[in-house]
Amino acid sequence: PVPIIKTAERIRKMEAGRTLAVLSDDRVILIDLPAWCRSTGHEYLGYRQENAEYRLFVRKTRASARTR
């Protein structure tokens, strides 16, 4: 999925400890992003719904296995 690919690209360029906000209008991101975080070792911090958009938060960790 495109949001996960873009998230991986951005996270790869960030320093550990930084937080990324991911915007999406597709509810599936609420399943896909936490699953991606579990598989890569990054920390899923939750989400906020703003009208028809979801704003999700991911913290890059040092111990991440991979960021594919």
Q: What is the pLDDT of residue 64?
A: 65
For residue 52, pLDDT beyond 70: yes
pTM of the model: 0.88
Give the CATH number, domain containing residue 25. Answer: 3.30.110.40
Distance in angstroms (rounded) separating the CA atoms of residues 43 and 68: 15
Q: What's the total number of domains in the chain?
A: 1
CA 42 to chain centre: 8
Report if residue 8 sits inside a domain. yes
Distance in angstroms (rounded) separating the CA atoms of residues 15 and 35: 21
Report if residue 11 sits inside a domain. yes
Report if residue 66 sits inside a domain. no
Report if residue 65 sits inside a domain. no
For residue 15, pLDDT beyond 50: yes
Structural domain of residue 8, as residue ranges?
2-59
